């Protein structure tokens, strides 16, 4: 089952110069808790922003090019290859972790959404594609705790496709 997981600011911003626009450890923890032990799929540009593959997860990189990837990181060349991977274990959550280009491509076939909203306006260059929330049922809403290390109000929302 394909799930999208992302964090956006109050304007839907998700990226800045190949990185996240914010530092929000509580969201990193949330992301790690949800995705650990699962397969994660990301676009070539998002992977390029990481220093190394995400540990304790099977990393898949979407690209139409022939990539030289680190050991243990696998490539998917198309949406069809992603669907074939999902079909191998349809009950397991397969997390698509960005970026915008990949989210736009995969959204029509996703069954779950894991969204973090940060109530602050950051600057950047990459936005989440529009999601039609009429098609989604809100399953869970959790308000995050603002503290010294997590300085912006934020919340976690989980959705299933209606």
Ligand X SMILES: NC(=O)c1ccc[n+]([C@@H]2O[C@H](COP(=O)([O-])OP(=O)(O)OC[C@H]3O[C@@H](n4cnc5c(N)ncnc54)[C@H](OP(=O)(O)O)[C@@H]3O)[C@@H](O)[C@H]2O)c1
Q: Which residues bind ligand X (CB under 6 A)?
A: 6-7, 14-15, 18-20, 42-46, 49, 62-65, 77-79, 97-102, 105, 126
- The residue (of 4 and 162) whose beta carbon lies closer to ligand X is 4
- Least distance from ligand X to the Cβ atom of residue 7, Å: 4
Tell me the CB-side half-sphere exposure of residue 102, using CA atoms within 13 A: 29
- The residue (of 46 and 59) whose beta carbon lies closer to ligand X is 46
> Which three-class secondary structure state does DSSP give residue 82?
helix
- The residue (of 19 and 36) whose beta carbon lies closer to ligand X is 19
Pinpoint the alpha helices (H) of the chain.
Answer: 25-35, 44-48, 79-88, 100-106
- The residue (of 102 and 110) whose beta carbon lies closer to ligand X is 102
- First-to-last alpha carbon distance for the chain, in angstroms, is 14
- Least distance from ligand X to the Cβ atom of residue 92, Å: 21
Candidates 81, 71, 76; CA nearest to 60 is 76
């Amino acid at each position: 089952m394909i799930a999208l997981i992302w964090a956006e600011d109050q304007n839907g911003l998700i990226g800045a110069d190949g990185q996240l626009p914010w530092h929000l450890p509580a969201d990193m923890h949330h992301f790690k808790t949800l995705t650990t032990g699962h397969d994660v799929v990301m676009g070539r540009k998002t992977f390029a922003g990481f220093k190394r593959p995400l540990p304790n997860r099977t990393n898949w990189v979407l690209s139409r090019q022939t990539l030289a990837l680190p050991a243990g990181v696998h490539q998917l060349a198309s949406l069809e290859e992603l669907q074939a991977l999902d079909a191998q274990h349809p009950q397991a959550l397969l997390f698509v972790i960005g970026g915008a280009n990949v989210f736009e491509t995969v959204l029509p076939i996703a069954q779950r959404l894991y969204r973090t909203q940060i109530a602050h306006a950051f600057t950047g260059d990459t936005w989440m594609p529009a999601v039609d929330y009429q098609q989604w049922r809100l399953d869970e809403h959790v308000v995050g705790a603002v503290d010294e290390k997590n300085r912006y109000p934020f919340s976690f929302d989980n959705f299933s496709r209606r």
